[in-house]
A and B are shown apart, each in its own frame.
Chain A
């Protein structure tokens, strides 16, 4: 059984789910090979907390974990969902676990700006602190340079006009699926073989994001800085 914080880990990145973990793991790998500055990517553990309601529980568990005392940087990624004050929600959850006793976790005042405590804590709200949505929205933003992205947007606009009900919170997830199918990701060699599961994370095996140079999109600049702060000295 794995330790929650393995020996040698000094940086933690808390993300909501599996797709987020794969996205940021690949993003970190890209930064590690392309950055001019020294990054401590080998000292990073990415841990899922399973959605906003579970963040308190994961923080509580982390505080009790062996090796939490060695954590120097703690990053938290949260979807803004329908809440343009997602930062406050994160602050409230940190405050709750702080009330339960030491160790005390710094509470960031602003998104994207690390605290100066030990550990340094920073929060990244996706797609942004000012906009509702989730990681998939941020990725769709970054894909706008690709002609297929336009087709996808047009397709979904068309669906909306013909009053086909797309659950609003799932729209960007659905768009990613359609986009990936347009890139021949997830299509089996057999005619009927479209994989049951086709999400953001499934694109990595096919190198589609790398081919599109997704990581260097200006739309991901804030996320890139956030990771740099987490991984640099």
Chain B
């Protein structure tokens, strides 16, 4: 579990430090204060052996690889679009007392052909094979240089991932963390597969129970394939229908729950968690997320613009007497320096805000 995180030269962050992270973290802030970018950074950090992670975050923002001028695509990840300054990330936590660090830098003059790379992205029909070169620098850092292989052609990424970890293997820090973007509908097959896993593990009733908090008429879930494709079907009010035909909030919440229960990632990132979820059930959504995070040892990060969602989180963790597990973080821009910074509200701070009934702006 991360206790603190620092990111430099990534997207809008020149240098941001966020401390006192909790089991469940809700991040708010005005537009363009880096809420999503912070989670992208942590997501990339949690998967240092997966160079595709950063490209996934670009794709989730609707940023496609251009036909030409590929370097501009890559530069968008760097603060001020200046890729000559490496991206630097660092975290501390009980599992890594020394702290872990990751540097992401542009590989300069490696002879790669930008057009080849752009063509590759346009042609890709299946996940690429990722090759890696491991070497030691003069500073005795372990450097991982990634190359993507596609149809007998090896295309070097115009980047390398360098980790100055002092441990023997960087692989122990590679995790199966998950990032759920703001508008993303997971495939039917994925839902059906995960549900089957839960059924085998006899945990499907737990999913049904939690989902019924959003849709009280829900009485049964089952995997069916009447049209050749396996889908999850829901029985509500005596009739069956594909879960997908229910509302956005129900499907999104189902995605959260299945990711936690079936994938069990150590870190889960959810962008704009309030999307599609009615205020009257938000407290129960938090209670379900909090319970799973606790039982399955998952650290959750979510962003929001919604005061109702912040209040609901406070109420949920208060009601369960687990407020110490919850942290609220506000990102804002300092008028003095113009830089972004994080303010963290712990249990006592949240009680103070709640004592005055959230009467002033905290988002």
Chain A residues close to B by CB (< 8 Å): 1-4, 7, 50, 54, 56-58, 60-61, 64-67, 69-70, 100
Contact = CB atoms under 8 A, between A and B. Distances in A.
B335 A60 contact: no
B355 interface: yes
Interface string B310-351: 000000000000000000001010111000000101001101
Nearest to A65: B360
Contact of B352 (A2, A58, A70): A58
A57 B355 contact: yes
Contact of A60 (B330, B336, B343, B349): B349
B227 interface: no
Given A1-B307, A7-B335, A70-B335, A61 B361 contact: no
B25 to A, nearest CB: 16
Contacts of B351: 57
Nearest to A57: B352
A105 B212 CA distance: 48
A61 B307 contact: no
B148 interface: no
Contact of B345 (A1, A56, A64, A69): A64
Given A1-B360, A57-B356, A60-B349, 11 more contacts: A1-B361, A2-B361, A4-B361, A7-B335, A50-B356, A54-B356, A58-B352, A60-B352, A61-B360, A64-B330, A69-B336
A70 B355 CA distance: 25
Nearest to B351: A57
Query: Taking chain B's interface residues, is the majority helix, strand, or loop, or is none over half, making it mixed?
Result: mixed
Q: Which 3 A-B pairs have the closest CB atoms?
A: A4-B360, A57-B352, A60-B352
A33 to B, nearest CB: 29
A67 B361 CA distance: 12
Contacts of B356: 50, 54, 57-58, 61
Given A1-B307, A54-B355, A64 B349 contact: yes
A222 B353 CA distance: 33
Nearest to A1: B361
A4 B357 CA distance: 13
A64 B335 contact: no
Contacts of A66: 330, 332, 343
21 contacts: A1-B307, A1-B360, A2-B361, A3-B360, A7-B335, A50-B356, A54-B356, A57-B355, A58-B352, A58-B356, A61-B349, A61-B353, A61-B360, A64-B330, A64-B345, A64-B349, A64-B353, A65-B360, A69-B334, A69-B336, A70-B336
Contacts of B361: 1-4
Contacts of A57: 351-352, 355-356
A5 to B, nearest CB: 9
A3 B363 CA distance: 10
B190 to A, nearest CB: 39
B71 to A, nearest CB: 37
B343 A2 contact: no
Nearest to A96: B348
A48 B289 CA distance: 36
Of residues A3, A4, A66, A67, which shows the largest number of chain B Cβ atoms within 10 Å of its Cβ? A66
Contacts of A70: 335-336
A136 B281 CA distance: 46
A143 B334 CA distance: 47
A67 B334 CA distance: 8
Contacts of A4: 360-361
Contacts of B355: 54, 57
Contacts of B335: 7, 67, 70
A49 to B, nearest CB: 9
A100 B337 CA distance: 25
A54 B330 CA distance: 23
B348 A100 contact: yes
B218 to A, nearest CB: 35
Contacts of B336: 69-70
A66 B341 CA distance: 10
A61 B328 CA distance: 13
B306 to A, nearest CB: 12
A7 B353 CA distance: 20
A118 to B, nearest CB: 13
Contacts of B352: 56-58, 60-61
Of residues A1, A3, A61, which shows the largest number of chain B Cβ atoms within 10 Å of its Cβ? A61
A145 to B, nearest CB: 39
A4 B362 CA distance: 8
A61 B345 CA distance: 9
A16 to B, nearest CB: 14
Given A58-B352, A100-B348, A64 B360 contact: no
Contacts of A64: 330, 343, 345, 349, 353, 362
B106 to A, nearest CB: 35
B92 to A, nearest CB: 17
Nearest to A7: B335
B304 to A, nearest CB: 15
Given A58-B352, A100-B348, A2 B332 contact: no
A200 B347 CA distance: 37
B351 to A, nearest CB: 7
A69 B330 CA distance: 15
A60 B348 CA distance: 8
Contacts of A65: 360
A67 B330 CA distance: 13
Contacts of A67: 335
